[in-house]
Amino acid sequence: MPKEFYTERDIEDLHRRGVTSLQLGDDVVLTELAFEKAGRLGVALVRGSQPGPVIPPAAPVRPYVSQLASPAAAPCPNAATPVIPAGEVAERIRAAVQAKLGPQVDPALLDVIIRRVLAGTGVT
């Protein structure tokens, strides 16, 4: 099935014609500017089969986030969430980055970046 592409101009045209929502699916592609224009003009973007908010076109796809917690391994809702010390979190991140990028990473710069990211997320 061919895909239908919408640009910023297409969204403006839809809005001028009085269209208040646009049904999104696998065959509909929005440019980033079209997504932003729809938000500014109040054109609702509706996904058919997938629940939840519509994700901007330029948003990164992060499948590794969903791989971290599989439904079978989900903790009991009444169980206490384990707390991992910040030092251990930093070590895990450092090891993962070094395994992925190898010796091309400056260790001092990597430490600074990890500290800033952890501080920005509230992990101290």
pLDDT higher than threshold 90 for residue 52 = no
pLDDT band at 124 (very low <50, low <70, confident <90, very high): low
Whose tokens are 């054109």? That residue is: 43
Q: What is the pLDDT of residue 14?
A: 94
DSSP, residue by residue, the chain:
---EEE-HHHHHHHHHTT--EEEE-TTEEE-HHHHHHHHHHT-EEEESSS-SPPPPTTSPP-HHHHHHS-GGGPPPTTSPPP---HHHHHHHHHHHHHHHHGGGS-HHHHHHHHHHHHHHTT--
- List, as one string, the DSSP characters of 31-56: -HHHHHHHHHHT-EEEESSS-SPPPP
- Tokens 């910023």 correspond to 8
Which positions ≥6 away from 111 have C-beta within 8 Å? 90, 94
pLDDT digits (tens, 9 = 90+) for 75-108: 555 555 566 677 888 888 888 888 888 888 888 8
